[in-house]
Homo-oligomer: A and B are copies of this chain.
Amino acid sequence: METNPIKILIADDEPDIIEIISYHLLKAGFEVFTAKDGSEAIEKAQQHTPDCIILDIMMPKRNGFEVCEYLRSNKQFDKTLIVLLTALNDEASHIKGLELGGDDFVNKPISPKVLLSRITALFRRIQPNANDNKVIQVRDLTIDPSQYKTILNGVIHVLAKKEFELLFLLAAQPGRVFLRNEILSQVWGNDVIVGDRTIDVHVRKIRVKLGIECITTVKGVGYKFDY
């Protein structure tokens, strides 16, 4: 499955802050992007779809609240963690930031180590670990991600990597429709650009190899696992 490094965007107008936070995040193995104002933050966010965005409240062009509000109104950033930073240590901003959809709110001066711990704690909590490496069993179909294989009626079917990942994604939530975009970002990653018919071809290969109707097309919307 998608094993790209976790992407974090830092938006702050103080270069020193950016530098020191970047340093610690990079050392911890994250992929880091930066922005020096609110508009750039939105641009970079749209471009990279980071997993976490660290937003200073007081920034030029658009402040952190505005950026936060924008991000939260956009489905693309549903799963993106937002950590707000501010030098203003007042209760009202704190609450406002969280109510606008922020996931954490940290007062400056910042200890980079504490910030890192907090981000790590957030990621730990939202890890859908429960499903990782979990064998999926539906009727006589077994999908085992630890071995990258599927067993149907006792017969092992070997799927290629992408095929397997696509099937696993859909089967992890039977019945739920996955939009083509979701499938692309989950299986192929956000950076990879592949053509329109790629998903279809993989779906077809799965259908042929398994020989059962397990993936249903929802025209104009996406695909779902139904079995």
Contacts and interface: CB of A to CB of B under 8 A. Distances in A.
A91 B103 contact: no
A107 B74 CA distance: 33
Contact of A98 (B101, B118, B126): B118
B161 A220 contact: yes
Interface in A191-227: 218-221, 224
A12 B160 CA distance: 46
In the complex, which range does the number of interface residues on chain A fall in?
35 or more
A103 B81 CA distance: 14
B125 A113 contact: no
A98 B125 contact: no
Contacts of A121: 98, 102-104
A117 interface: yes
Contacts of A122: 125
A117 B103 contact: no
Contacts of A111: 91, 94
Nearest to A97: B117
Nearest to A81: B125
19 contacts: A78-B130, A81-B125, A91-B111, A91-B113, A94-B111, A94-B114, A95-B114, A95-B117, A98-B121, A102-B121, A103-B125, A125-B125, A147-B175, A147-B176, A147-B177, A148-B218, A148-B221, A160-B219, A161-B220
Given A98-B120, A104-B121, A149-B175, 12 more contacts: A91-B113, A91-B114, A94-B117, A95-B117, A101-B124, A122-B125, A126-B126, A147-B175, A147-B177, A147-B224, A148-B177, A161-B221
